[in-house]
Amino acid sequence: MLLAKIAVSLFLNYEWRMKTKLNIIALLMLIPLSLLGQPKLTITNNTIDCGEILYGKPITARFELRNRGLRQLNIDTVMTSCGCTVAEYPQKSVSAGQRFSISATFDARMLGHFNKQVAVHFRGFEKPVYLTFTGVVASEVIDYSGTYPFKIGLLYVDKNDIEFDNVNRGDTPVAEMLIVNGGKKIYKPVIMHLPAYLTVTSVPSELNPKQSGKILFTLDSKKLRDYGLTQAMVHLSRFPGDNVCDENSINVSAVLLPDFKNMTESQRELVPAMQISQKSIELGSFGDKSKKSGTLVITNSGSGNLNISSLQVFTSGLEVNLGKRVLKSGETTKMKVTAVAKYLKNARSKPRVLMITNDPSNPKVIIDINVTK
């Protein structure tokens, strides 16, 4: 009796396993063979920005692809968005796992922005694959290459200080600042809080993403009031509607000198001659001190009176004491310069002292203050 039960159990178990296998085989037969080898494709870069290109100089965009499917891949047709673009692609089958490329060449015979598409029809794909390349065709491509160590928002500039040195009344000098648009949108440079004596021009007027250009600052020296140093803080807008802040600030300085062109011979015989003991003051490190001071000597070795009409500093954190502003022939005086640590630590400009004199040979004298913050 027991043997009979065991035999029946083994038969039933065998029958169940056979039915299961047959069911699995039936299910597999219901799956279309095309699904077992469904084509797959990966694209490294389906959009390429060609940047700025020269008119009439064809540009080629190369797209990198890979067949990730288990079967070979075939391209039936490739269509471009206009007759100005010609595409090249593999004419033979692409094996499974193989990398390949599709290139499109634009003839660049139309000025301005361009946006070109290539439609690739792969066998077995329901819809075409679209590849896009963009750029700007210009009549002249100017390279503003250089280094851009300062970052203002998504912009990169080569300097954050604009200096106009040795300006005479009536001069209109121009200073330039190189700029790169590091963002993904078209950017139009705008300088905010311009003083009356400054005008600004951007070349080009708009920057495409990754494009470089320059901002030209023009000084109208007739509008400067006094001889010596004039300073202003302007701001480079990072985006439309931007506000002024420390990050987008640019320091602008101009040094206006007296003009000695119209001096008579008799006046030239009575000019002063300024002599200074040193052109820099070495103060070393503050260490644990809050202030450090240094002294220099000024002598008038000329025949006329030496007049120090202007005494200014380029940055906060310096205190200057001058014994005399008017020195007769043969006279001397001392200048004491004190550096204050708590104010100098946030200074953007190098610590310097500026003197404007009536000595035709030394109308401007700059004293460098070398101190470690």
Spell out the domains of the chain, with CATH numbers in brackets: 41-138 (2.60.40.10), 150-257 (2.60.40.10), 265-372 (2.60.40.10)
* H or E element that contains 310: strand 306-313
pLDDT at 33 over 60: no
* pLDDT above 70 (res 30): no
**What is the DSSP code (8-state) at residue 351?**
P
> What spatial distance separates the first Cα and last Cα of the chain, rounded to whole Å?
104
**Confidence at residue 14, expressed as pLDDT on a 0 to 100 scale:** 52
Q: How confident is the model at residue 34 (pLDDT cuts 50, 70, 90)?
A: very low
CA distance 128 to 117: 12
Asked if pLDDT for residue 279 goes beyond 70, the answer is yes
pLDDT-derived band at 31 (thresholds 50, 70, 90) equals very low
Instruction: Give the count of beta carbons closer than 10 Å to the beta carbon of residue 252.
Output: 21
pTM score, whole prediction: 0.60
Average pLDDT over residues 73-100: 93
E strands present in 38-149: 41-43, 47-54, 59-67, 75-80, 85-88, 99-106, 112-122, 129-138
For the stretch 192-233, pLDDT in tens is: 999 999 999 998 888 887 788 899 999 999 999 999 999 999
Strand partners, 135: 114
C-alpha to C-alpha distance for 261 and 327, rounded to whole angstroms:
23
Q: Six-digit token pair at 350?
A: 């190098």
Which tokens go with 367? 């004293």
Strand partners, 163: 253
Buried b (16+ CB within 10 A) or exposed e, 277-306: eeeebebeebeeeeebebebebbbebebeb
The pLDDT tens digits for 299-350 are: 999 999 999 999 999 988 999 999 999 999 999 999 999 999 999 988 878 9
Question: Two tokens at 216?
Answer: 């030209």
Q: What's the confidence (pLDDT) of residue 36?
A: 47
